[in-house]
Chains A and B, each alone.
Chain A
Amino acid sequence: MLSISRVSVSFGATRAVDDVSLEVPSGTVMAILGPSGCGKSSLLRAVAGLEPLASGSVSFDGADLVRVPTHRRGFAMMFQDGQLFGHLDVAGNVGYALARKGIRGSQARTEVDRLLELVGLAGYAARRPTTLSGGEGQRVALARALAARPRLLLLDEPLSALDRSLRERLATDLRHVLTETGTTAMMVTHDHGDAFTVADRTAIMRAGRLVQQGETAEVWAHPVDADTAHFLGVSVPSDLAEP
């Protein structure tokens, strides 16, 4: 289980993440939902160890991670625009984490093929990243992250660069892959549709602070305040409406 406890992240004088506490139970998918600039990506990067904490702690299964460098955390990250390695083919990208563990040759090949099949791209092994469509690129990025067998998968707006119909299909596929592999995941998104499709639980961030968290359906049904309701696009309950 990932535990985020009273975490703050600062950039100079700006406090991007302000005193956020959150838990992601193993085997579940947590969505961090919020408008752009609310600090959700900074929180994700802090969990990955890519941004230093101003205060607070991040731990996994009780072990404190603040002193653990990114590459030893076992948290694979998937970026909004894939960030595939242009000098490697699809198999090289997916097999990247395997090669770092010294797994190469036929054993790696089998695993790469299995993952490509899982994300619906069987037979793509020899393709170059530049020849892939946006959706295919994100599927490869997902397979590459899963190949690391991460304790926690970090997804930074994984579907945002895609058009709507593709996005809905890939969101469903993503949910399917995550449950099938039993992966614990934390996904940052500004799109409540993505959160609704993919996540078991949702946390809502605004201006660096966590304003609400709970079961996704629950958050949807009972927004904590008018701004949240407005952001979710649900009709504002009368008792929460501003006078």
Chain B
Amino acid sequence: MTRDRAGRIAATTVAAILPLGFLAIFFALPVAGMLARGFAPGGVLDLGGFAEVLGRARTQRIIGFTLAISAAATVISVVVGVPVAHALYRLALPGRRTLRAIVAMPFVLPTVVVGVMFRSLLAEGGALGGLGLDGEWGGILAAFVFFNLAVVVRTVGAAWEGLDRRPEEAAGTLGAGPATVFRTVTLPALAPSIISAASIVFLFCATAFGVVLTMGGLAYGTVETEIYLLTTALFDLRGAAVLSVVQLVAVVAMLLLADRARSRDAGTQRAAKSAIAPGRVTAYAMGSVIATVLAVAFVAVPVLALVVRSLRRQGEWTLDYYLALGRVGGADGRSALPVTVWEALGTSWRIAIDATILAVVLGLLVAVLVSRPARSPGGLRWRRLLDGVVMLPLGVSAVTVGFGFLITLDRPPLDLRTSPVLIPIAQAIVALPLVVRTLAPVLRAIDDRQRQVAATLGARPWQVLATVDLPIIWRPLLAAVGLALAVSLGEFGATSFLARPDSPTLPVVIYRLIGRPGVDNLGMALAASVILAVVTVTVMGVVERLRVSSVGAF
């Protein structure tokens, strides 16, 4: 073995151990601890719970509902998202950068904010209160589509934008009409990105927590909210463990499917600039334009409704709810918030900074590792494994992770129960897959011969990183920082377990506010939601300016 090769293997190992060790301690251990509580309460393994828990009528109803609503939301998101991706990434539509930003916005809106938003829209007295969707599955479905349209548009759009136009033109010269060209040339080329997006959307829906908890009330629950209920209210850890395993198996299956779709995509060549220039808006493309107008309205209306309602009290325009954000104790002076909303925002921000640093450092390591071309089939397998493992937190119940933290990291050598580092760590685990997904495609797109030519010109390995990778990666890196910040600011599932009662984060405060009776508490929740949304959307707006197409694409 050469020294070069030995050095490379050593560096690779160290770079892999850091993120894997982190995930082992702060992800695998808590999840395992949670499962152990459920399956081996007295130290004796008892898998009888599977049959019993899965046999319950309630469990079957919950699983059925989760699958049905996730599938419905996925189908709608894809059917609407693909034409929107066409219009926003393939047509020379005026103002398309702004429209892209609007459609992408929900992706970074905190789940709690979206829940509050849709409730205020659909509840009695809301703009669409007459539809009777408040607390109904239709409302949850709308919120799911609202969230995930961005995933489909960005993922499919990024693929479509780079698609070589010439095969379509060739099919045209062979006598294929526009519809036939789309069906026989374009759609097969986009299929990997569509499958990838659909599986991620399904994953997000099936594991959604904040939205369902704020919107479903008592009538509707998904596997994720059921785990929460079983864990915190009913103390049925066995039931929770069974559902966690079911969820984990489903998630791994979805990730494998997405991975297969992506690996088929790897052969697609990047086309020349001239071959991917946006096309004119023809009559044939009007369908896409109309879908885009509807999608933009669908995204903008709930947001505007939220802002309007936060400014109205008893039929008049007012800033009362915003003024109340600076007071301890809530708008009516009765609801006992321990801190003001502004203090909670400060807490959220400080935690988000720590979480972002963690997620970006680890995510960069993983992205560099998984994007380097493997020199052997074994190396390739390792890379794919690492790539898959860091994606797991996308789908594993944040509730399981959060509760797992409490029951496994509560004794030496790692007694972190009361430590303030737990929340940023949990949030970093949630943000890590998104950071990796933002950076890895960009690093993969760098022709490895660029690094090789630098090496033959005398650049040391670290100089290759600094002079070839860094100039291309710094913008996506900044974008990943923004994305991690936004995700961490809005994280609710794990944080709701870990936040200390005396210093809650802003999403936790909002959830507490809507849980209390009274129009004034709701008003404060609306105002606080607007503030949180403004912060995350501003962060995302800066990210948008960096024009990194891999952000939010899968």
Contacts and interface: CB of A to CB of B under 8 A. Distances in A.
Interface residues of B, number: 27
Nearest to A152: B456
Contact of B457 (A67, A87, A100): A100
Interface stretch (B258-266, B422-430, B447-455): B447-455
A15 to B, nearest CB: 15
Given A67-B3, A69-B3, A87-B471, A74 B450 contact: no
Contacts of B472: 87
Interface stretch (A45-53, A185-193, A198-206, A220-228): A45-53
A85 B4 contact: no
Interface stretch (A75-83, A110-118, A232-240): A75-83
Interface residues of A, number: 34
Interface in A23-56: 45, 48-50, 52
Most buried by B among A52, A71, A87, A154: A71
A176 B149 CA distance: 60
B418 interface: no
Q: DSSP majority for the B interface?
A: helix
A105 interface: no
A52 B2 CA distance: 8
A228 B408 CA distance: 71
Contacts of B12: none
A10 to B, nearest CB: 10
B459 A85 contact: no
Nearest to B454: A96
A85 B472 CA distance: 10
Given A49-B4, A71-B459, A12 B453 contact: no
A175 B293 CA distance: 61
A68 interface: yes
Given A69-B2, A83-B447, A96-B467, A50 B457 contact: no
Nearest to A148: B457
Contact of B458 (A49, A71, A87): A71
Interface in B440-481: 447, 449-450, 452-461, 463-464, 467-468, 471-472
Interface in B491-512: none
Most buried by A among B453, B460, B461, B463: B453
B377 interface: yes
A144 interface: yes
Contacts of B2: 52, 66-69
A210 interface: no
A48 B451 CA distance: 13
Interface string B1-28: 0111101000000000000000000000
Contacts of B463: 71, 100
Contacts of A148: 456-458
Nearest to A75: B456
Given A69-B3, A70-B4, A83 B453 contact: yes
Given A83-B447, A83-B450, A96-B467, A76 B456 contact: yes
A12 B368 CA distance: 24
A48 B449 CA distance: 12
B468 A97 contact: no
B458 A52 contact: no
Nearest to A50: B452
A219 interface: no
Contacts of B468: 85
A204 to B, nearest CB: 25
Most buried by A among B377, B452, B461: B452
A5 B517 CA distance: 85
Nearest to A141: B453
A94 to B, nearest CB: 10
Contacts of A74: 458
A145 B457 contact: yes
Contacts of A71: 455-461, 463-464
Nearest to A145: B457
Ranked nearest first, the 4 interchain pairs of A and B with the lowest CB-CB distance are: A69-B4, A77-B456, A70-B455, A87-B471
Given A12-B376, A83-B452, 11 more contacts: A49-B4, A68-B4, A71-B464, A73-B456, A74-B458, A75-B456, A76-B457, A77-B452, A96-B467, A97-B458, A148-B458
13 contacts: A50-B456, A69-B2, A69-B7, A70-B4, A70-B452, A72-B458, A76-B458, A83-B447, A83-B449, A83-B452, A96-B467, A148-B456, A148-B457
